[in-house]
Chain A
Amino acid sequence: MMAQLIQEAPRFFTYYNLLFLAQAVGTTIALSAIGCLFGLLFGCLISVVRLTEKPWLAPLRWIALLFTEFFRRVPFLVTLMLIFFVFQLSGANLPLFVVASLSVTLIASAFLAEIIRAGLLSIHRNQWDAATAMNFGLIQTIRFVVLPQAWKMILPPAFGFFVMFIKDTALASQIGVIELTFAGKVLNNKGFSAILVFGTILILYFAVSYPLSRYGHYLEKRLAPSRH
């Protein structure tokens, strides 16, 4: 088998195939990055909204709650299909990549909102009390007091989610976005052996997600230093 793979390799690793794979990796990274960054942004917003107590913000709190509970419970593929067909029916002719980006953002926002909220709530009540008694507002309390302490609780699950999320973007292939998994299928269909193709895809996924985990560890050390 090894001999067969070595024999096939020069035919597989051609300039055009490598270019095709590079573009696919780019799409996977872009989808993941969009999901993680916008997810982080909206996740922060949603978790803060859910921590407000003002009565007139109750409708917003309900929307935030509904949003997180809904998108955390629906399979990614279903969300993707739903967004895809909604846009198709409405006649908006959006590129597939935009549809996929929108879906990953929705999912990531819901999951990260819950991770961040859990992290913020893990900080002892007396920290909130002290800040409140000194006239800190909600945002100031979170920014100066709670978030700096909550990183320790937020970063590990958040980066665990990011790494899982990179793999989940493979589902975008189902609506025809040419990301890494889709590229694998294309090359396999062209007649290259499955082991060679998907072995390469596997290594590429690893190459994308491993540095991310390392970065997560680095951030944990930097933002949540242990003094003991």
Chain B
Amino acid sequence: MVIIWRSALHHLVIKDLSAHYGTVQVLDSINLEIARGEVVGLMGPSGSGKSSILRVLTGLTPLSAGSVSLNGEVINYSSAESVRNMRERSAIVFQQYNLFQNMTALENVTIAPVKIRNRDPEEVEAEARALLSKVGLTDQISRYPDQLSGGQQQRVAIARALALKPEILLLDEITAALDPELVSDVLDTIRALASEGMTMIIVSHEMGFMREVSHRIAFMAQGNIIECGKAEQIFNSPREARTREFVSKILKH
């Protein structure tokens, strides 16, 4: 009973998670519990481990200690099946978009559902077209990534992630490369997803957006979560000196 109750409460539980790139420790005993439908923002200086958390969650970077549980079940990152299960329930949008260069925007969105999940191609394509127009791309769907602007590629990447119908969406600096006028488009999409109850972990420097969309913000430095709390609290009355320093710097400009 206890387990069921916990899983209903916590969608994703990260416990004492550590990770290394070679001899460099990038994550140092991270603890984070994320409820279903919660949006958690990760904030902090470059190299603080924000992106590494997302990479470890999807199994792209191996963890060296600790555990991650999804819906109350511990993910075994050395089991291919367990990792595959995690990847079926989550989707990541990379900072560099990582669109497949040999495919059009539309193909980028449809490839995984059709070829990996063996879904009906026509149904997937209809969904993909709808998703692409939802992110404001209707005329560019048969263009290749190198024929699209950074902002357009970013939105294709978001559509590609959404086509996987994830329970958990991991967003890595998705507004970093966008034109200011496009930022609001992308943020509208994310806001809509948040209101639909999608669980999300967002790495961003876009403080206004973070403040508005995140239920909680975790401030990270040197592979640690220094402080975690409601956006208002982190921005207005940070408890830790490091957080205060960082927040005051980014709020200045």
Contacts and interface: CB of A to CB of B under 8 A. Distances in A.
Contacts of B87: 133-135
A149 B112 contact: no
Interface of B is mostly: loop
Contacts of A228: 146
Given A133-B60, A135-B84, A135-B87, A144 B101 contact: no
Contacts of A148: 102
Nearest to A145: B100
Interface residues of A, number: 17
Contacts of B98: 126-127, 129-130
A132 B88 contact: no
B171 to A, nearest CB: 13
29 contacts: A126-B94, A126-B98, A127-B98, A127-B101, A129-B60, A130-B98, A130-B99, A130-B100, A131-B100, A132-B58, A132-B60, A133-B58, A133-B60, A133-B92, A134-B112, A134-B164, A135-B84, A135-B87, A135-B117, A136-B112, A136-B116, A140-B116, A144-B100, A144-B111, A145-B102, A148-B102, A149-B102, A227-B146, A227-B147
B79 to A, nearest CB: 12
Interface residues of B, number: 24
Interface of B: 58-60, 84, 87-88, 91-92, 94, 96, 98-102, 111-112, 115-117, 144, 146-147, 164
B78 to A, nearest CB: 10
Dominant SS among interface residues on chain A: helix
Given A133-B58, A136-B116, 6 more contacts: A132-B58, A134-B112, A134-B116, A136-B112, A149-B101, A149-B102
Contacts of B116: 134-136, 140
A134 B110 CA distance: 12
Contacts of B100: 127, 130-131, 144-145
Interface of A: 126-127, 129-136, 140, 144-145, 148-149, 227-228
Nearest to B163: A134
Contacts of B59: 132-133
Contacts of A135: 84, 87-88, 112, 116-117
Q: Chain A CB within 10 Å — which of B87, B117, B144 has the most? A: B87
A126 B96 CA distance: 8
Contacts of A227: 144, 146-147
Nearest to A135: B87
A13 B120 CA distance: 64
